[in-house]
């Protein structure tokens, strides 16, 4: 299963090492290419926000977590397909 928190600190889209600004109960990681960013408030609400390029996906607790996770997974797949993300990164740099 896909790990939205990127425990390995590797961007799930481009494979770069992510900047990790996490503190005890808040996970905060950003890809330097801006493809993936996660802010996860583990305590007390298990609430997270993932930003893929400029679109954000939120989960406000256990009930919509699964749905949001699979949505994020689909988006990652989309950007990796035919290496679409490379064009997007170049576009952002212009
Ligand atoms: Zn990336």
Tens digit of each residue's pLDDT, the chain (94 residues): 789 999 999 999 999 999 999 998 999 999 999 999 999 998 777 799 999 998 999 998 888 888 999 999 999 999 999 999 999 999 988 8
CA of 17 to the centre of ligand 1 (A): 8
- Do residues 68 and 40 touch, judged by C-beta distance below 8 A? no
CA of 93 to the centre of ligand 1 (A): 13
CA of 85 to the centre of ligand 1 (A): 8
CA of 44 to the centre of ligand 1 (A): 28
Q: What's the rounded Cα separation, in Å, for the pair 12 and 83? A: 12
Name the residue among 88, 93, 94, 91 with its Cα closest to residue 11: 88
CA of 16 to the centre of ligand 1 (A): 6
Q: Does residue 28 come out as left (phi exceeding 0), alpha (psi in the -120 to 50 range) or beta?
A: beta
- For the chain, give every domain's residue range: 18-93
């Amino acid at each position: 299963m896909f790990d939205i928190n990127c425990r390995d600190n590797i961007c799930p889209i481009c494979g770069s090492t992510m900047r990790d600004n996490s503190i005890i109960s808040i996970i905060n990681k950003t890809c330097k290419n801006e493809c993936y960013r996660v802010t996860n408030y583990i305590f007390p609400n298990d609430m997270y926000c993932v930003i893929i390029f400029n679109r954000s996906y939120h989960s406000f607790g256990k009930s919509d977590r699964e749905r949001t996770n699979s949505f994020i997974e689909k988006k990652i797949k989309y950007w990796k397909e035919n290496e679409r993300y490379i064009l997007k990164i170049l576009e952002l740099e212009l």
